[in-house]
Structure 1
């Protein structure tokens, strides 16, 4: 029997390579921050979506923005599932928590759900790099229940970090939280304006209280004049 003898250096390199290939890869998710579960079942009804996300974000690879603007795949970690699906869920949960409403659903809505406002969102960029800040670029629109444009913004948000993958994910989470805060503020303002408009409309439709007719002028009544005097006779 022939025995193949490998050089010691090559043998060690093969063992180390096998260990590295079998090492677990860290998985990352966006952080919702201190969001709480909403309890108000009669809160404002919001339809979230449609949400469009740039093609390069619809993957599990964690991309790194380089100094020249190019994107490379991180070797030290990846997203725990689809980043696009994670963004949808993070937006839903954080927005419901900030508005304290259970009546917030992702588009398309189920039959019978009538939203008071609708949020349309397009995310064109969400990334960072070892020496590049976390950047979120997006456009959102707020529509009334009859499709009228109430508000809208084209935004760019940035957040610094320390350089590591975990720090970058936290920075990306913070720019997402800033976006949610902006959306929640717009929804509250629209809801307040709608309440004021409805109150004004109801006040205008209310029947006016009829004015009381003025009493006719009172004519003076002639009264007999009584003279209390004594007549003396001599």
Structure 2
């Protein structure tokens, strides 16, 4: 009788252990959400470049690769492979986030409050219009982010305008091994692109 009781206790213990183990395995890791961040506004200064404070600039439209138009953050562990993280996602639409931050950056750099994203109001007549084709905007965890884009700046009214087309390949080191460091590096790469675009507009505006 005692042996039978011990056997029952052992079976119950094993069953409870298995149920507990299955419960632990069934817990899904929480999802983390990320967003690109604009550059910081310089303290105690207007942050503008002076010459462009009263210049109107329209940003967009922007074209994004289809591989990036998804909620999961995409990394590139090798040249021909893409990884999608189910547990590290964008808090919104990456394409729109990119455009919003680009507008904020250029507004902060120039000090102008006349920077608007596409589509803008018909009453808005920008002196400069910037369109972008983003070819690559990904990276390898713990390594670098690559922002490869072609952008065009048009000056003047449609049909009577001059334009400049540039290509920027920006490699931004990632100062960490996690996704937070990856997203920060993406924001830094976008900051560099914002400076390049603003510098070109400054040159065009001075000619």
Q: Which TM class, normalised by the smaller chain length?
A: 0.7 to 0.9
Asked if residue 31 in structure 1 is aligned to residue 44 in structure 2, the reply is: no
Counterpart among 113, 116, 138 of residue 105 in structure 1: 116
Is 1:119 aligned with 2:133?
A: no
The 8 Å contact of residues 151 and 167 in structure 2, kept in 1 or not, is answered as yes
Displacement of 1:68: 4.5
**Distance in 2, Cα, partners of 1:35 & 1:59:** 30
Q: TM-score, normalised by structure 1?
A: 0.72
Equivalent residues of 1:63, 1:71 under 8 A apart:
yes
Residue 57 of structure 2 is aligned to residue 17 of structure 1: no
Matched, 1:140 2:148: no
User: In the alignment, what sits opposite 2:75?
Assistant: 64
* Higher RCO structure, 1 or 2 (CA under 8 Å, sep 6+): 2
Residue 58 (structure 2) aligns with = 47
- Richer in strand (by share): 2
> Tell me, which stretches of 5 or more residues in structure 2 are unaligned?
1-10
The alpha-carbon deviation at position 69 of structure 1 amounts to 2.8
Partner deviation per Cα, 1:79-125 (whole Å, 9 max, x = no partner): 11111111111011111111111111112221221111111111111
Runs of 4+ more than 4 Å apart: 36-40
Q: What is the root-mean-square deviation of aligned Cα atoms in Å?
A: 2.5
Shift of 1:149: 3.4
Gaps of 5+ in 1: 194-234
